[in-house]
Amino acid sequence: MDVPKLLAVSEGTSVALIAGTWYWVSRQGNVYANWRNKASFVALVLASVAVAVQFVLAIFTQFRSLDALDTASLQGGGNVVVAHLWLWSFFAAGLLSFAGLVLAILGKGSPRLPAGVWSCIVLGMFIINLVLAVNSFH
């Protein structure tokens, strides 16, 4: 079983499913009048951005392994920029999903439940990717 391909497929599926979630939320016709309603909406936005970032990173690692990226970054030049961009994007996806979970807990309204679920899913995928990324250098 090729774990990176499985993760890329799961990320792609997540992108499609979160698009369906956005369709459902947009059909609800909610008014985001107070801060708690806005917090639940922003939580879904953050989870969506985190899914998109993780999907791009999963596709990137399909074409270039993390070990090769680490070795190339030692040579300097543009490879260092790419390595740093990958690393900070990866951590940003984890931070966005955690912030989405916090806002979903504080929020109110119909986007609250999907935002919380998606934030948990994305945070779980982040932790799995983190474990696999750390173990790829051993």
**CA distance readout (Å), 42 to 37, 48, 62, 66, 107:** 9, 10, 30, 32, 9
pTM, entire model: 0.84
pLDDT tens digit sequence for 49-78: 999 999 988 888 777 666 666 666 667 666
Split at pLDDT 50, 70, 90, the class of 29 is confident
76 φ/ψ angles, rounded to the nearest 5 degrees:
90, -170
Share of the chain above pLDDT 90, in %: 40
**CA distance readout (Å), 55 to 1, 52, 78:** 19, 5, 22
**Maximum C-alpha span of the chain:** 53
Cβ neighbours of residue 88 closer than 8 Å, sequence gap 6 or more: none
Task: Please say if the pLDDT value at position 92 is more than 60.
Answer: yes
Task: Please say if the pLDDT value at position 138 is more than 60.
Answer: no
Give the whole-angstrom CA distance, residue 112 versus residue 83: 35
Task: Please say if the pLDDT value at position 86 is more than 90.
Answer: no
